[in-house]
Structure 1
């Protein structure tokens, strides 16, 4: 774990996964899901790089994307 800010953001993403995400149909084309990818990116790479990786992933997750397995790179 990198630091306190990235742990807090990862906890907020987890809260989203538990409380908000179940209210909507599963639409992520990737595995792990975009929210899990973001959580792992924040914990692995910190706030700045984790945010950049998360935004790039969300931009790639669209109806024209092939999707598939796309883990957070270490």
Structure 2
């Protein structure tokens, strides 16, 4: 329930307030999209921490660039996978996974 509240607040920010600053983020994905991915796939404390650190790095003192979210483990069941249901790709690192968006996802609202 709390997760849905934060996702709704992010949606509100992305569709109203971020119109003024469109394209101002130094990273890809943008900070709001990064937060959205974090809250969709991580626990709330970890999502808050990662989002806070990302927003702190989004200024001229740090280099921008590609900064994909890192998650603990994928939560998709193999029976739910098909070419039309893949929304994110999980790229393994030593202990975690990078989360990369699939741009050809047919259920996407982008």
Report the TM range for the smaller structure's normalisation.
0.7 to 0.9
Q: Detail structure 1 runs of 4+ shifted over 4 Å in the superposition.
A: none
Deviating more after overlay: 50-59 vs 6-15: 6-15
Which residue of 26, 50, 53 corresponds with 1:53?
Answer: 50
What 5-or-longer segments of structure 2 have no aligned partner? 72-110
Structure 2 counterpart of 1:17, from 14, 21, 34: 14
Higher helix share: 1
Which structure shows the bigger proportion of residues in strand conformation?
2
> TM-score, normalized by length of structure 1?
0.85
What displacement does 1:46 show?
2.6
Report Cα offsets for 1:3-54 as digits up to 9, x if no partner. Answer: x211220121111000110023532100000011111111111321111110
Normalising by structure 2, what TM-score? 0.59
- In our comparison, the structure showing a higher alpha carbon Rg is 2
Number of residues paired by the alignment?
Answer: 71
Structure 1: where are the runs of 5+ without partners? Answer: none
CA RMSD of aligned residues (A): 1.3
Q: What SS does structure 2 have at the residue aligned with 1:35?
A: helix
